[in-house]
Amino acid sequence: MEFIVTKDYKSMSTLAAERIVEQVRENPRSVLGLATGSTPEGLYAELVAAYRVGDVDFAGITTFNLDEYCGLSPDHSQSYHYFMREHLISHVNIDEARAFIPNEELVNDRPAWETYSARMDAAGGVDLQLLGIGQNGHIGFNEPDDNFSKGCHIVELTESTIQANSRLFDSVDEVPRRAYTMGIGDIMKARRVILVASGDSKAESVRDSFFGPVTPRIPASILQFHHNICVIVDEAAAKLCPVG
């Protein structure tokens, strides 16, 4: 495991964006697993800037987002479809036909939904999976549980996630209670993982995930078993970790 502590949010974002740009330059047909949330906003802005100055070309890539709320239309301002358009897809030359995000259509037809994982496999598997982390150690929307999940599925969000995400909605009652997510098995199949975390509110989950026992009660802890993971955290998120 590569565990990198950066001075601040900006340098965390820059480093993560550089790694993604390198990946796409090395393999212009890369399959990227993408995350939403506040943490990757800065790195997406850096990817857009790199594209604008001609440092990277996204025309050949395929993307699979980790997750989406159930019941929000793609045009809802808090949907992850909307987020991806706002922060990345509409600013760069990613082919929208190859930018996959879980959605209702896939879930209403269960066999089709199961093919979200199969579709990732058919695309050759994910070359680089970008992750954030929840305050309770969730990755994607895989919440603390008795078991690690395998493929894509629907989850009931925990109260702590609903509260954490309510900052982005007008009221806590508007936060959807369910979401679609890639499974832990899907995430672990990625050839390479980059996890980013910033701020004091992530300090406990970063310590517990990367320096504690591996347990489904802290879903990100399974990443300790990934063969190619880079954790990039700022000083605030690393403050409880036993690193120099």
**CA 161 – CA 166 distance, rounded (Å):** 8
Q: Which residue, judged by CB position, is nearest to ligand F6R in the bound state?
A: 132
- Regarding 33 and contact with ligand F6R (CB under 6 A), the answer is no
- Regarding 151 and contact with ligand F6R (CB under 6 A), the answer is no
Binding-site size, ligand F6R (CB under 6 A): 13
Minimal distance, residue 53 CB to ligand F6R, in Å: 26
Pairing of strands 67-69, 178-181: antiparallel
**CA 66 – CA 237 distance, rounded (Å):** 22
User: For the purposes of burial, counting CB atoms within 10 Å of the CB of 75, is it exposed (0-12), middle (13-18) or buried (19 or more)?
Assistant: exposed
- Residues between 50 and 109 that touch ligand F6R (CB under 6 A): 66-67
Tokens for 174, please give them. 């508007």
- Regarding 39 and contact with ligand F6R (CB under 6 A), the answer is yes
Candidate list 6, 36, 63, 149; residue touching ligand F6R; CB under 6 A: 36
Tokens for 24, please give them. 């796409």
- Regarding 42 and contact with ligand F6R (CB under 6 A), the answer is no
**x-or-dash string of contact with ligand F6R, 110-149, rule CB under 6 A:** ----------------------xxx---xxx---------
DSSP state of 148: -
- Regarding 234 and contact with ligand F6R (CB under 6 A), the answer is no
Minimal distance, residue 181 CB to ligand F6R, in Å: 7
Minimal distance, residue 37 CB to ligand F6R, in Å: 3
Closest-CA residue to 129 (of 204, 41, 67): 67
For ligand F6R, which is the closer residue by CB, 134 or 183?
134
Beta-bridge mates of residue 64: 33, 100
Residues across the chain = 244
